[in-house]
Amino acid sequence: MTDAIVVLGAGAWGTALANLAARGGRRVFLWARNPAHVAEMTETRANARRLPGVGLAASVEPTADIACVGAAATILAVTPAQTMREIARAARPHLRASTDWIICAKGIERGAHAFLSDIVREQAAARPAILSGPSFAADVAAGLPTAVTLAAESIEKAETLCRLLDAPTFRLYRSADIRGVEIGGAAKNVLAIACGVASGRGLGASAVAALTARCFAELTRFGRVFGAQPETLMGLSGLGDLVLCCATLQSRNFALGHALGQGQSLEKASGGKLAEGAFTARALVELATERGVEMPIASVVDRIVSGDLSVDAAIDSLLLRPPKPEN
């Protein structure tokens, strides 16, 4: 009998991945915290709250019971980055030995400055992998062509995990660079806010393009210090994801920055729910500072979302930096 797959997190991305994993009738548990939400999905066979207009595949079973992880050899963790530690702890008593835990969230834990793969190793005693790249849930759910990277502790393991989700319109590239793939996703979330600010402030396409390039320079500097492979940062999970999320309001991080650039308050701009980049900004900047990595764009994003710096002052602080070599 084929093992079930458990998707932890019934947001838009979790729902799209659950449907992908259910191809061919494979049993998939879609876990959500809220029993009322689970009951609604079970009754309607859809997730109207998070991914309207998309039905659940026939073999997707919504559940609020975290013990469902015991039925799976593979878990897709799609909960917010700042909750990964809590979810891993809750799941651990029910996990099988040597469970593969594919992290589908993007971020760095605040306070502890922990990468998500390290949290999973420590708290769940599971084998971490990372799924990341330029992808929007609505596009994947609609069957539009998408390509992402899946990194595991070996190329062989990554190849095995890729087969669980690979589809004609969802192409997975395998990697053994876990750290590089997770850094790309975490850093681009923060940096996309900056590009959104520039767009929302009406600074023009030239400024946004230049800012995107300088964002990539910061991402690369940070990744290099933490052991990421340059090829990974140049690939889908680094440059690819950055390009996508620095140019469209479909990106929640870009949209947050865009609203801030238009003069909205953080509360109004976030709609009561901050994008992941706003939570990761402080951890990213503090880690960079500890290791002597210069990240002026990420630093002003952190100060903007913390309320310590106005948008105009942030723009001035970047424009008035002394000239320097590009590389």
Rounded CA gap, 45 and 33, in Å?
A: 17
Is residue 287's pLDDT more than 50? yes
Is residue 154's pLDDT more than 50? yes
Is 99 a domain residue?
Answer: yes
Rounded CA gap, 71 and 92, in Å?
A: 13
pLDDT for position 181: 98
**Judgement on whether residues 153 and 10 belong to the same structural domain of the protein:** yes
Is residue 1's pLDDT more than 60? no
Domain end position, chosen among 176, 201, 230: 176
Is 216 a domain residue?
Answer: yes
**Judgement on whether residues 214 and 114 belong to the same structural domain of the protein:** no
Rounded CA gap, 247 and 255, in Å?
A: 10
Is 324 a domain residue?
Answer: no
209-215 mean pLDDT: 98
Is 256 a domain residue?
Answer: yes
Question: What's the CATH code of the domain at 146?
Answer: 3.40.50.720
**Judgement on whether residues 123 and 33 belong to the same structural domain of the protein:** yes
Give per-residue pLDDT as tens, 5-17: 999 999 999 999 9
Question: What's the CATH code of the domain at 206?
Answer: 1.10.1040.10
Residues 152, 161 contacting (CB under 8 angstroms): yes
**Judgement on whether residues 15 and 152 belong to the same structural domain of the protein:** yes
Give per-residue pLDDT as tens, 23-58: 989 999 999 999 999 999 999 999 999 999 999 999
Question: For a pLDDT cut of 90, what percent of the chain falls above it?
Answer: 95
Residues 123, 202 contacting (CB under 8 angstroms): no
**Judgement on whether residues 55 and 144 belong to the same structural domain of the protein:** yes
Is 241 a domain residue?
Answer: yes
Is 309 a domain residue?
Answer: yes
Say whether pTM exceeds 0.85.
yes
Rounded CA gap, 287 and 268, in Å?
A: 29
- Indicate the helix (H) or strand (E) that contains 170: strand 170-175
Give me the domain span that covers residue 234. 185-319
**Judgement on whether residues 16 and 157 belong to the same structural domain of the protein:** yes
Rounded CA gap, 213 and 202, in Å?
A: 18
Q: How confident is the model at residue 164 (pLDDT cuts 50, 70, 90)?
A: very high
**Judgement on whether residues 148 and 225 belong to the same structural domain of the protein:** no
Domain end position, chosen among 119, 150, 176: 176
**Judgement on whether residues 160 and 17 belong to the same structural domain of the protein:** yes
End-to-end CA separation in angstroms for the chain: 54
**Judgement on whether residues 132 and 198 belong to the same structural domain of the protein:** no
**Judgement on whether residues 17 and 151 belong to the same structural domain of the protein:** yes
- Give the active site residues: 188
Is 327 a domain residue?
Answer: no
Is 26 a domain residue?
Answer: yes
192: left (phi over 0), alpha (psi -120 to 50) or beta: alpha
Q: How confident is the model at residue 172 (pLDDT cuts 50, 70, 90)?
A: very high
Those residues with Cβ within 8 angstroms of residue 324's Cβ, 6 or more apart along the chain or in another chain: none
**Judgement on whether residues 56 and 141 belong to the same structural domain of the protein:** yes
Q: How confident is the model at residue 2 (pLDDT cuts 50, 70, 90)?
A: low
Domain count across the chain = 2
Residue of 101, 105, 100 lying closest to 115 (CA atoms): 105
**Judgement on whether residues 11 and 97 belong to the same structural domain of the protein:** yes
Give per-residue pLDDT as tens, 60-70: 999 999 999 99
- Indicate the helix (H) or strand (E) that contains 130: strand 127-132
Domain end position, chosen among 109, 141, 176: 176
